[in-house]
Structure 1
Amino acid sequence: MRLKLKASHIVAGLSGMGSILLWLILIFFNPYTDGTNLSPALNTFIMLFLPGCLALIAVFYSYRLLLLIAFGWSILPSLYLTGTPGIFAWFGVASLGYLFAYLLMKPRLRS
């Protein structure tokens, strides 16, 4: 069986994995985070990590509505982090990747 990769799947997969990777760096390798306070970790987990997982599920099942949900879910914290002068500004690129992949993915035709 030959796997056919589409541009929308590549963009969504890279955006989802990038968001998950950036969240791991933000929580575990950021020298400015407080390791004893779990509230920021939980908030960013819900607002940044979970949409990345949702985007990967959307790639696996080719379900484009999940990409739109991931974009809407992550856009506000991503825009906030885009204004920071570090690596975490890439969260905005990942969030826009969800929207771009949604626009590239063709809707499924029902038979």
Structure 2
Amino acid sequence: MRVQLKASHFLAGLSGMGSILLWCILIIFNPYTDVMNWSPALNTFILLFLPGCLALIAMVYSYRLLLLIAFGWSILPSLYMAGTPGIFAWFGVTSIGYLFAYLLMKPSRPI
């Protein structure tokens, strides 16, 4: 069986993995802080990492609504991070990627 890669699935996967990777960089290799603070790590985990995981689940199961939820969940912290200098401004791009993947994914057929 041949697997067809759709643009929406590719974009959802790229955005989800990008968000997860950026979160790991933010927490582990953050050049702006010397110590590991658990409160910001937990907040950004909930607001930036989990929507990335949700986008990956939406990609695997072709479930559009999860992409819209991931976008709505991550848009405000992503816009905040997009206003910062450096690599973390890419969080805004990953959030917009969720929206574009949602718009590109075709709705499922009614049963």
Query: Given the superposition, is the C-alpha separation of residues 110 and 15 from structure 1 closer, same or farther in structure 2, using an over 3 Å criterion?
Result: same
Identical-pair percentage: 82
Task: For residues 64-108 of structure 1, give each alpha carbon's deviation from its aligned partner in whole angstroms, at most 9, with x where no partner exists.
Answer: 000000000000000000001100000000000000000000000
Which residue does 1:62 correspond to in 2?
62
What residue is the counterpart of 1:32 in the other structure? 32
Question: Cα RMSD between the aligned structures?
Answer: 0.9
Number of equivalent positions: 111
Shift of 1:34: 5.0
CA distance in 1, matches of 2:59, 2:28: 27
Note if contact 1:27-1:33 (Cα within 8 Å) is conserved in structure 2: no
Q: Which amino acid aligns with 1:77?
A: P
Q: Secondary structure at the match of 2:4?
A: coil
Provide the TM-score with structure 1 as the length reference: 0.97
Q: What are the ranges of 5 or more consecutive residues in structure 2 without an aligned counterpart?
A: none
Moved more, 28-37 or 55-64: 28-37
- Aligned-pair distance for 1:110? 2.0
